């Protein structure tokens, strides 16, 4: 709603390109006005012309470092995969479960970002083997466990997602789907980063005065890429660093090229599915009551690592939100639901905090299960009375809030192997991706060589790349034969059984 109601407004700033003895750099005055006349008046006050001379009044260099990232929990991996490859959280969980069953990664449904000394021991012993898997050898900075990663007190049922002791062969890696390979390498690189050096850089802050109007510049110079070298997959993965500045000295005279820059205010960016996962986990920040905020922080927000992606899939399936090119938008139906629940406890994270508080009372013997369930029943009954009345006052048809979906997503067979975002759906004469509106063209025929393809066979094609042996395909000549279907670049091919001789 905030995005829809947003009205862009112009603003004006003062910028300058400065020319020093050893290069150029840009600076900006701390002046931002909605009216251009106010900026013009400020320039006049300081008697500034486009070429007014300037002087460097301050150069401050600060050496900084960024440690390697913490290990992945399921939610951080889901957020990362969604940002990098636009893979839905539900598909990440499905693919990670597959890697777990292949014994390549540890249990994926974990909310921990720490491991115990036992896991660290085997990881440290196999660092060189893991490095070879990504063809990126580097000198190990330390084999001593660090509290940032190794802390038994922060491990409950399951520790962070890490590679197992099993070192897969190149053939095994080649047999993984693209998203499986991406996820495995992300877990592997994040684990290896724990043994790498910090990322080192120098931050430079410069103040340049022109007729007593200060212009401010911030630059960043990389000194040692450290662990970040593990994550440079392509040029666009490099940091969007602040500009590198030329060598500058205090009291150095510089030439100016001053101008007024016009900009426009931008609406809030829409959420992605990965950001929804993160927001569900940190929703306690939206609650005013400090005790409730603390509880939500302790239980890590709404849902669990295993259920958050399912919650998103449910509201997608019921048609309350739509996801197009990884951007989440609310539907008319979802907007009506929000209006129906506006101001209601059901629509607030506070409800989760209140329930958790009472569950703790039950655990301490200060409350009873019967009373808790009774209060929930009363709450539901009050909703059934209040919400229809509220809808009526807003002239909203109750049928519009029904949970039936106009899309056949509930018939989804398996995640789409091409876009990794949609699901394959059975139609009358073919199977197709639910993401067709976003540009995915993946389809499968309902009948191939006069043989009807079943949903199970389509699922095998998408998840394994091939079906089991299918009998009685019919060629154009009328001859029948048996073969397996294989999926190559989104197209169906035939693979015939080879007879063993001898």
* H or E stretch covering 415: strand 412-415
Domains of the chain by start residue, with CATH: 10-67+199-264 (2.70.20.10), 74-193 (1.10.290.10), 273-401 (1.10.460.10), 408-495 (no CATH)
Phi-psi region of 130 (alpha: psi -120 to 50; beta: other; left: phi over 0): alpha
Backbone angles phi and psi of 422, in degrees to 5: -80, 180
pLDDT in tens, 232-263: 765 455 555 578 899 999 999 999 999 999 99
Q: Coil, strand or helix: which one is 67?
A: coil
Positions of the chain with pLDDT lower than 50, given as ranges: 235, 403-410, 499-502
Contact 111, 92 (CB under 8 A): no
| Half-sphere exposure in the Cβ direction for 376 (13 Å, CA) | 13
**Could you tell me which of 392, 360, 304, 374 has the C-alpha nearest to residue 110?**
304
Give me 362's structure tokens.
């039950």
pLDDT, residue 240, reads: 55
pLDDT, residue 161, reads: 98
* Cα–Cα distance measured from residue 423 to residue 425, given in angstroms and rounded to the nearest whole number: 6
pLDDT, residue 85, reads: 94
pLDDT, residue 458, reads: 93
Residue 381 to residues 88, 253, 354, 376, 430, Cα–Cα distance (Å): 35, 75, 18, 9, 45
pLDDT, residue 397, reads: 55
The owner of tokens 């974990």 is 110
DSSP character for 310?
Answer: H
* Residues 6+ away with beta carbon under 8 Å from 38: 12
pLDDT, residue 500, reads: 41
pLDDT, residue 11, reads: 97
């Amino acid at each position: 709603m905030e995005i829809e109601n947003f009205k862009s407004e112009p603003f004006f700033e003062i910028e300058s390109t400065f020319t020093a003895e050893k290069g150029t750099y840009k600076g900006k005055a701390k002046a931002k006005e909605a009216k251009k006349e106010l900026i013009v008046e400020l320039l006049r006050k300081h008697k500034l012309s486009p070429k007014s001379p300037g002087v460097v009044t301050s150069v401050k260099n600060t050496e900084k470092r960024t440690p390697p990232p913490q290990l992945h929990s399921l939610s951080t991996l889901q957020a990362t995969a969604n940002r990098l490859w636009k893979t839905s959280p539900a598909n990440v969980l499905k693919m990670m479960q597959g890697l777990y069953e292949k014994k390549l990664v540890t249990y994926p449904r974990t909310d921990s970002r720490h491991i115990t000394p036992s896991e660290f021991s085997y990881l440290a012993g196999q660092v060189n083997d893991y490095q070879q898997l990504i063809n990126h050898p580097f000198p190990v900075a330390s084999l001593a466990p660090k509290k940032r990663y190794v802390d038994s007190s922060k491990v409950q049922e399951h520790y962070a997602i890490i590679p197992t002791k099993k070192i897969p062969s190149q053939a095994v890696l080649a047999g993984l789907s693209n998203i499986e390979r991406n996820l495995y390498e992300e877990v592997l690189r994040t684990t290896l980063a724990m043994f790498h050096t910090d990322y080192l850089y120098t931050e430079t802050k410069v103040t340049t005065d022109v007729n007593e109007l200060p212009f401010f510049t911030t630059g960043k110079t990389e000194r040692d890429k450290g662990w970040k070298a593990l994550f440079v997959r392509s040029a666009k993965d490099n940091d969007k660093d602040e500009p590198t500045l030329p060598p500058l000295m205090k009291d150095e005279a510089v030439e100016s090229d001053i101008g007024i820059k016009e900009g426009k205010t931008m609406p809030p960016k829409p959420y992605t599915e990965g950001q929804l996962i993160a927001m569900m986990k940190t929703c306690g920040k939206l609650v005013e009551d400090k005790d409730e905020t603390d509880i939500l922080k302790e239980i890590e927000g709404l849902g669990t690592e295993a259920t958050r992606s399912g919650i998103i899939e449910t509201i997608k399936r019921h048609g309350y939100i739509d996801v197009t090119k990884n951007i989440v938008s609310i539907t008319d139906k979802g907007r009506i639901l929000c209006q129906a629940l506006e101001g209601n406890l059901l629509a607030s994270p506070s409800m989760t905090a209140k329930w958790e508080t009472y569950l703790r009372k039950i655990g301490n013997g200060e409350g009873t299960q019967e009373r808790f369930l009774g209060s929930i029943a009363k709450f539901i009954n009050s909703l059934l009375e209040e919400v229809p009345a509220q809808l009526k006052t807003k002239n909203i048809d109750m049928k519009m809030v029904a949970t039936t979906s106009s899309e056949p997503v509930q018939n989804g067979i398996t995640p789409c192997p091409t876009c990794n975002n949609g699901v394959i759906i059975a139609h009358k004469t073919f199977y197709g991706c639910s993401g067709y509106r976003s540009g995915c063209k993946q389809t499968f025929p309902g009948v191939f060589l006069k043989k009807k393809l079943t949903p199970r066979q389509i699922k095998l094609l998408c998840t394994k790349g091939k079906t089991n042996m299918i009998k009685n395909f019919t060629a154009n000549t009328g001859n029948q034969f048996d073969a397996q279907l294989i999926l190559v670049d989104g197209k169906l091919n035939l693979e015939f059984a080879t007879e063993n001789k001898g």
